[in-house]
């Protein structure tokens, strides 16, 4: 397999790495400056109503979640490109990357539902972030 066929994956990994760094910075901002143990005042029995009220109380949470969705989509595209290029190990690493981002995302949603107060879920988000960054470097090592 020629190296030049991997330039889309390399570009996606670099974009994802930059987004993960931005995700980390916004997450640290939320951790340091957002009101913890927030409570929703309305009786929102649906997820969207609850999340909208939390977004009003913690505005930095929306871009943090949006970047998470984008990194998850990038992971899926990397899996597809690796499968199309016939590189099994890169596809497995891209799947692992997507799993780690999904784990961090699910932990993040439950962290928000806990009122930004569950330290175990915060730790799980950080493990997903660190793992995704490590896997990105592994993918780069294999394709460059």
The reported pLDDT for the residue numbered 25 is 96
Q: How many helices (H) and strands (E) does the chain have?
A: 5, 0
The string over 53-88, giving b where at least 16 C-beta atoms fall within 10 Å of a residue's C-beta and e elsewhere, is bbeeebeebeebbebbeebbebbebbbebbeebebe
The reported pLDDT for the residue numbered 56 is 82
* Those residues with Cβ within 8 angstroms of residue 120's Cβ, 6 or more apart along the chain or in another chain: none
pLDDT category at 40 given cuts 50, 70, 90 is low
The reported pLDDT for the residue numbered 51 is 77
Pairwise CA distance, residues 144 & 139, whole Å: 8
The reported pLDDT for the residue numbered 2 is 58
Pairwise CA distance, residues 37 & 41, whole Å: 13
Q: Report the SS3 class of residue 68.
A: helix
Find the mean pLDDT for residues 108-135. 92
Strands (E), 19-143: none
Q: Report the SS3 class of residue 117.
A: coil
**How does pLDDT run across 53-102, given as a tens digit for each residue?**
788 888 999 999 999 999 999 999 999 999 998 889 999 999 999 999 99
The pTM for the full model equals: 0.88
Q: Give percent above pLDDT 70 in the chain.
A: 90
């Amino acid at each position: 397999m020629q190296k030049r066929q991997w330039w889309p994956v390399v570009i996606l990994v670099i974009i994802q790495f930059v987004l993960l760094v931005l995700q980390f910075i916004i997450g640290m901002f939320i951790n340091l400056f957002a009101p913890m143990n927030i409570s929703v005042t309305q009786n929102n029995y649906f997820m969207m109503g609850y999340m909208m009220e939390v977004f009003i109380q913690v505005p930095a949470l929306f871009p943090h979640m949006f970047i998470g969705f984008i990194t998850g989509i990038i992971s899926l595209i990397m899996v597809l490109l690796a499968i199309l290029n016939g590189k099994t190990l890169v596809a497995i690493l891209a799947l692992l990357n997507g799993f780690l981002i999904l784990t961090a995302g699910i932990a993040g949603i439950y962290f928000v539902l806990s009122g930004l107060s569950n330290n175990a879920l915060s730790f799980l988000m950080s493990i997903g972030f660190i793992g995704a960054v490590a896997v990105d470097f592994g993918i780069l090592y294999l394709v460059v």
